Amino acid sequence: MKKNIAYILSFVNKSISFEWIVESLDKSKYTLYFILLNKESSPLEEFLLSKGIAVYRIPYEGKKDVLSAIIKTQRILKKNKTDILHAHLFDASLVGLVAAKLNGIKKRIHTRHNSTIHHNYFPHAVKYDKLINRLSTKIVAVSDTVRKVLIEMEGVNEKKITVIHHGFALNEFTNISEQRIQRVYSKYKLSSEKKIYIGVISRYIHWKGIQYIIPAFAKLLAVHPNAHLVLANADGPYNEVAESLKTLPETSYTEIKFEEDIFALYKLFSIFIHTPIDAKSEAFGQVYVEAMAAGVPSIVTLSGIANDFVIHKKNALVVPFKNSTDIYNCMKELLENEIVRRDIIENGKKIVEELFSLEKMIESLEKLYE
């Protein structure tokens, strides 16, 4: 008999990852439907409807809507005779797991997408993380870093935790037409003749460490004046990034709030940089995997999933936390040492194919649902 699975998500506008799950999960075993805690319709909702997936949108803006969202979710779960609830992200996990518990659903899963953010920046929210952990019958940790946080900092029984890495349709990062790449160049008025684009894909948040990349890039400009910094997902509450950008020539950087064709965007980059400020701030860090899959040599700090598989000078150049000088030195090395660059690209592609295929993730999810 097919199992009815409810995915409940909060504040998700567009997500290729969930699109991949919808298309890959065994439809002979599972009937999947979605509950979206969103104020209005989204590209994800439109995609799901186009695939014939049932979608229930609950208008939701924050904590004032929690109680009504729980009641509405209970009704939806009951109507669909739900066997499994799988919650993603904080608000959806709180709402969904309470509703599922009240409805007597025995298999209640949540994927933990954050690591130590609440501990470091919002300590009042840790009690809700612990409640979510208690309400879950299984917790998916997206990396070993998250597994350790759950056990060591929140007292979760390790038998409740399953580590499932994000999976990627890796062919999407290589099968990209020249037309798509040129469209991105044109859209952001970037010259395809300029050979050095330094890519960063990260919101403006303190722990992401962009404030250490910008001074390194400023130093690079002195020796490579044709370098150009591209900041994607360029939005967020950390004002120091905007202040730091003022130290650069206006023509030396481009900010991109959101680019839907992320696969083509990676193809612009000569170097990719991701430097969170400590080992646990990043829960996973999809960009570590994406850049390698796209064949872009990376400069990184070891946070989140990078702790599990990144090796210095094998599949990336690893720098210490909060260190602009080393970021600059590594940029120079990648631009001036073709052997190191080539080896990092080749080894990066090999390791992500081995560890982060979509098929591996789907297999793990289906095992969890059984």
Looking at beta carbons, which pairs linking 327-331 to residues 24 or more positions away fall under 8 Å?
Answer: 327/212, 327/213, 327/216, 327/273, 327/275, 327/299, 328/215, 328/216, 328/217, 328/219, 328/220, 330/299, 331/198, 331/216, 331/217, 331/220, 331/271, 331/273, 331/299
pTM for this entry: 0.92
Q: Is the dihedral of CA 98, 21, 177, 331 positive or negative?
A: positive
Every domain of the chain and the residues it spans? 3-163, 170-355
Q: Confirm if 276 and 320 have CB atoms less than 8 A apart.
A: no
Q: What is residue 6's three-state secondary structure?
A: strand
What's the distance, CA 34 to chain centroid? Answer: 20
Q: What is the pLDDT of residue 321?
A: 98
Q: What is the pLDDT of residue 263?
A: 96
The phi and psi torsions of 103 (rounded to 5 degrees) equal -85, 0
Q: What is the pLDDT of residue 57?
A: 97
Fold of 170-355: Rossmann fold (3.40.50)
Q: What is the pLDDT of residue 214?
A: 97
**Identical topology for domains 3-163 and 170-355:** yes
Tokens 């952990």: give the residue: 133
Q: In what order do the strands lie in the sheet with 30-37?
A: 55-58, 30-37, 3-10, 84-88, 107-112, 138-141, 161-163
Fold of 3-163: Rossmann fold (3.40.50)
Q: What is the pLDDT of residue 177?
A: 95
Using 70 as the pLDDT threshold, list the residues of the chain that sit under it.
none
Q: What is the pLDDT of residue 193?
A: 77
Query: CB-based contacts of 367: which residues, under 8 Å, 6+ apart?
Result: none
The phi and psi torsions of 357 (rounded to 5 degrees) equal -75, 150
Which of 76, 90, 25 has its CA nearest to residue 51? 25
Residue 145 is encoded by which pair of tokens? 């870093």
Which of 125, 126, 90 has its CA nearest to residue 111? 90
User: Alpha-carbon distance 47 to 331, whole Å?
Assistant: 39
Q: What is the pLDDT of residue 173?
A: 95
Q: What is the pLDDT of residue 63?
A: 87
